[in-house]
Amino acid sequence: MDDRDLSVLWLQSAGCGGCSISLLCSEARDLHASLDSAGVRVLWHPGLSEESGDEARLILERCASGEIPLGALCVEGALLRGPRGTGRFHRHAGTGVVMTEWVRKLAGMARYTLAVGSCAAWGGVASAGENVTDACGLQFEGDQPGGLLGAGWKSRGGLPVINIAGCPCHPDWVTETLTALALGAFGARDLDPLNRPRFFADHLVHHGCTRNEYYEFKASAHKPSDLGCLMENMGCKGTQAHADCNARLWNGSGSCARGGAPCISCTEPGFEEPGHPFHETPKLAGIPIGLPTDMPKAWFVALAALSKSATPKRVRENAVADHQVVVPPVKKTGLK
């Protein structure tokens, strides 16, 4: 291993493994080789590496003692502080030691610490409901700074925990962040106010959505499988969620909205408890309460009324059908 390479240790705390599984969907030619080419060396990953049992435990111990210099600690899954502050809802298998303890120790040694996925970033689904497990993120608890490591915590490399939020996160968000770190091309200015990498968090899911024409005319879906905009009735938060899902796309050419599902803003802290059923848009006097954040409400209402009255028949009728019932007309142009 080259001194300048970024060595990575990956731990799975209380999550579903989905962020790792998502990573394997990276459409890079060969994930392992492309990480390697970028100077990212994986010391150990619980799902992929060969070492098991004692050998794995030894790697962890040598990283914790500083014997193996640790470039980046990636944590996937929420940190469970329960029951009664003991952390015993999650012991690291085979070590007898609770995961919160391992994470504290290893984060203290790593140059950078990354929260992979919304569980590790904010607590995520693990912290929903009454949160009996006392789940939290590495450096946030919902949208409140703090979490396991504390609000003011900085890694040896001078950065707070890098929150690669998402449930799961897109594979590119992980590979590109690690690559940028390995290149030394990632600093405090590359993080948004919630410490998410700006390269994906400075976008809105709304950007590039194939339903944008329906959105413009407020031609809305009313039931699952309708083609219309999912924002007015179906609970979609794409206009508020920070992510590039409709521009970058998932699994070849997909996204939540392309699959007919609302964006539930899985990159945002607290997405797991929206205070309303996920598939419904909460409204006040018939107007959705969660409007685009950078637009005055009165404008939105006025524009919506105007655009609804101007909706072409094609857009209006297709919005409530599951396939195009009116196709764009073909004009006789007379061009030769």
Q: Which of 87, 123, 124, 197 binds ligand SF4 (CB under 6 A)?
A: 124
Instruction: From the list other proteins, ligand SF4, none, pick the one residue 311 interacts with, judged by a Cβ distance below 5 to 8 Å according to partner type.
Output: none
By three-state DSSP, how is residue 94 classified?
coil
The distance of Cα 210 from the centroid of its chain, to the nearest Å, equals 20
- The verdict on 209 binding ligand SF4 (CB under 6 A) reads no
The CA distance from 286 to 232, in Å, is 9
Q: Which of 1, 4, 27, 289 binds other proteins (CB under 8 A)?
A: 27
Nearer to other proteins, 160 or 262 (CB): 262
Residue 218 in tokens: 């407020």
Report whether 206 belongs to an annotated binding site.
yes
Report whether 229 belongs to an annotated binding site.
yes
Distance of closest approach, residue 90 Cβ to ligand SF4, in angstroms? 13
> Which parts of 313-332 interact with ligand SF4 (CB under 6 A)?
none
Distance of closest approach, residue 267 Cβ to other proteins, in angstroms? 13
Give me the 228-267 binding string for ligand SF4, x by CB under 6 A, dash otherwise: -------------x-x-x---------xx------xxxxx
> Which parts of 73-92 interact with other proteins (CB under 8 A)?
80, 83, 86, 88-92
Residue 284 in tokens: 């006040």
In degrees to the nearest 10, what's the CA dihedral of 122, 128, 133, 138? Answer: 0
Q: Which residues pair with 220 in a beta bridge?
A: 229
Report whether 236 belongs to an annotated binding site.
yes
Report whether 136 belongs to an annotated binding site.
no
In degrees to the nearest 10, what's the CA dihedral of 291, 293, 296, 297? Answer: 20
Q: Beta strand 135-136 with 79-80: parallel, antiparallel or unpaired?
A: antiparallel
Residue span binding other proteins (CB under 8 A) among the ranges 45-53, 151-159, 192-200, 309-317: 45-53
The CA distance from 110 to 328, in Å, is 56
Nearer to other proteins, 282 or 296 (CB): 282
Distances, alpha carbon 80 to alpha carbons 136, 255, 262, in Å: 7, 30, 29
> Which parts of 139-168 interact with ligand SF4 (CB under 6 A)?
166-168
Residue 20 in tokens: 């790792």
> Which parts of 162-191 interact with other proteins (CB under 8 A)?
167-168
